[in-house]
Structure 1
């Protein structure tokens, strides 16, 4: 596989904390029992947002929906990334998500904000996720030889959308 334009040299990724986007506290928090062995890529299937303020409200709304309508203890994803490349902490590192039923015990869920059935993910968002994955490996939260999957690889869904799914090989380079 070619080394692609999303590869980076030890650049740190900017993560907006739960406190910064004013997350509601989780009802409960279950830690992963070991390093995450898989990364599951999702899309929110909502209109894309860009920028800190525009996306904070959308993420808060996603969390509210996950907790009230779906009965989750928190937002389902470990991280979310908007089109400009800003990464938002969902459940965060080392916490079991609720992003892919039956597959959360050893995985990390990352959602790209937007609908990628027709729109391609931005280079900025792809680069940020690549950096996030590198950071997870270097910090000891993610196995070095992790599997990268689209949500559709684990169930009957269109998620993460055709354009994002076809871009997943670009995230699979060296970490």
Structure 2
């Protein structure tokens, strides 16, 4: 775990300087996703916003546990919320695995009114009182940079927390404090 945001930023700078920006992404088939009922492309592509969430569920510390948690989240989103698929574009397990949710270029169901113009990324865990893991933070930064590199996220993207779009505690106080110190954080989104 990073002792401070400063140590995380310094480590991330080293990570990016080595040219390792695109993480391995576990695709939908690999984690056992149900088929989406429908898909809609983003109205703004590449996405000008990245919206960060937390799952508000216990951390998952193994690939198998994270995969099961992700299946449960998708089931809840589709069967209880009535959405056409999992709400997020990507989900990052507590151990740092990046899972494809809806994927690049598709409208999510995660943060009105930003769904059609953002990439929604959820970090698994209860990040109200717990810090995200170092592996999650590295994967998050790597995924965002990968999106920029691939032309899926605009170069001058705006980074926001879910609470800035909707009345909610998401992505949790601990994660939101870190988010405010990350590159491209937008204190007053439009």
Identify the TM-score tier after normalising by the shorter chain.
Answer: over 0.9
Matches within 5 A, 1:114-129: 114-129=125-140
- Please give the alpha-carbon distance, in whole angstroms, between the structure 2 residues aligned to 1:127 and 1:171: 12
1:45-72 CA deviation, whole Å, 9 max, x = no partner? 0011022111111100100110011110
- Please give the alpha-carbon distance, in whole angstroms, between the structure 1 residues aligned to 2:11 and 2:165: 28
- Please give the alpha-carbon distance, in whole angstroms, between the structure 2 residues aligned to 1:41 and 1:168: 8
Aligned to 1:137: 148
Higher helix proportion, which one?
2
Aligned to 1:47: 58
Q: CA deviation at 1:170?
A: 4.3
Q: Is the 8 A contact 1:78 1:108 kept in 2?
A: yes
Q: Is the 8 A contact 1:6 1:170 kept in 2?
A: no
SS in 2 for 1:74: coil
Give the total of aligned pairs.
173
Matches within 5 A, 1:36-75: 36-75=47-86
Aligned to 1:25: 35
Q: Is the 8 A contact 1:66 1:76 kept in 2?
A: yes
- TM-score of the superposed pair, with normalisation by structure 2: 0.87
Matches within 5 A, 1:91-170: 91-170=102-181
- TM-score of the superposed pair, with normalisation by structure 1: 0.94
Aligned to 2:12: 6
1:60-104 CA deviation, whole Å, 9 max, x = no partner? 010011001111000000001012211110000001000012221
